[in-house]
Amino acid sequence: MAGDGWGDDQGAGCRVKKTGKNPTDRGKRGVKRSLLTEANGIPVSVAIDGANRHDMKLVRETLENIEVERPRPTDKKPQGMCMDKGYDYDEVRALLKEFGFTAHIRGRGEEAKAIKKEAGYRARRWVVERTHSWLNRFRRLLVRWEKRADTYLAMLHLACAIITWRATGLLG
């Protein structure tokens, strides 16, 4: 993680930029959002880090940032966590078990095959992708203009709150 990097600010060590070189975009600096949603795509937790950080490294921070109180998982009502192949590591499975989730990790082709085989099978991972699309509609988040990570995270939380408010149907 890089320090503040904007002039000679006093206390630059306490502010962290949380950007890193994006391996898919010619090495430009970028941010990675790790998002946890419930079954309908309502954001439950979000974490950010540099774009060069692997997805599995953000799992703990994302799970610790859950703001709503979860019901305790039981044998009759387990709580599943659907993830893609990028999270298929023993470390992630152990972390999900620690937090009381049942891991459902599928490869890219597996879900498409299941949809073709079983009538009525519903894909699950697209829900998070749709929520990322909703977040990208907020222009302030699409291109990160904020220099400080806490300001960007605050805007991200505001966008998540607006998405949640819209989903409640209270707009009329």
Domain containing 86 equals 12-163
68 in a structural domain? yes
3 in a structural domain? no
Q: Are 36 and 46 in contact (CB under 8 A)?
A: yes
Residue 2: what pLDDT?
Answer: 37
pTM (two decimals): 0.76
CATH number at residue 104: 3.30.420
Q: What three-state secondary structure class fits 79?
A: strand
What is the number of structural domains in the chain?
1
- Walking along the chain (172 residues) 10 residues at a time, the average pLDDT comes out as 34 56 72 89 92 89 90 86 87 93 80 71 76 91 86 94 90 66
45 in a structural domain? yes
Q: Which 8-state DSSP code applies to residue 151?
A: H
76 in a structural domain? yes
Residue for token digits 């959002």? 33
146 in a structural domain? yes
Terminal Cα distance for the chain, rounded: 44
2 in a structural domain? no
Cβ-proximal residues to 56 (8 Å cutoff; 6+ apart), any chain: 86, 87, 89, 91, 92
Q: What is the pLDDT of residues 17-39, one digit of tens each?
A: 677 776 676 777 788 899 999 88
How far from the centroid of its chain's Cα atoms is residue 90's Cα?
20
126-136 vs 149-168: helix crossing angle, rounded to 10? 110
Residue 12: what pLDDT?
Answer: 38
What is the chain's length? 172
Alpha carbon distances (Å) from 116 to 82, 83, 108, 130: 19, 20, 14, 21
26 in a structural domain? yes
6 in a structural domain? no
Sign (positive/negative) of CA torsion 156, 161, 165, 171? negative
